[in-house]
Amino acid sequence: MNMLGIYMLRFSDEQVLKGTDNVIRAIEWYIANFEEHTPGPSQEGS
């Protein structure tokens, strides 16, 4: 799926229910890291 540009984060029910703050931090960290290390869309044809 990653080859198609689809990425997933997985969390257990327990993590979501009992550690919501940690789940949110993990999502925020992933987004920041993903944006830093992923090239933007091609500007070809613009």
* Distance between CA atoms of residues 8 and 27, nearest Å: 10
Q: Could you tell me if 9 and 27 are in contact, meaning their C-beta atoms sit under 8 angstroms apart?
A: yes
**This prediction's pTM:** 0.66
Q: Could you tell me if 39 and 21 are in contact, meaning their C-beta atoms sit under 8 angstroms apart?
A: no
* Distance between CA atoms of residues 29 and 18, nearest Å: 19
* Distance between CA atoms of residues 17 and 1, nearest Å: 27
- What does the pLDDT look like over 1-45, one tens digit per residue? 778 878 899 999 999 999 999 999 999 999 999 877 766 655 555
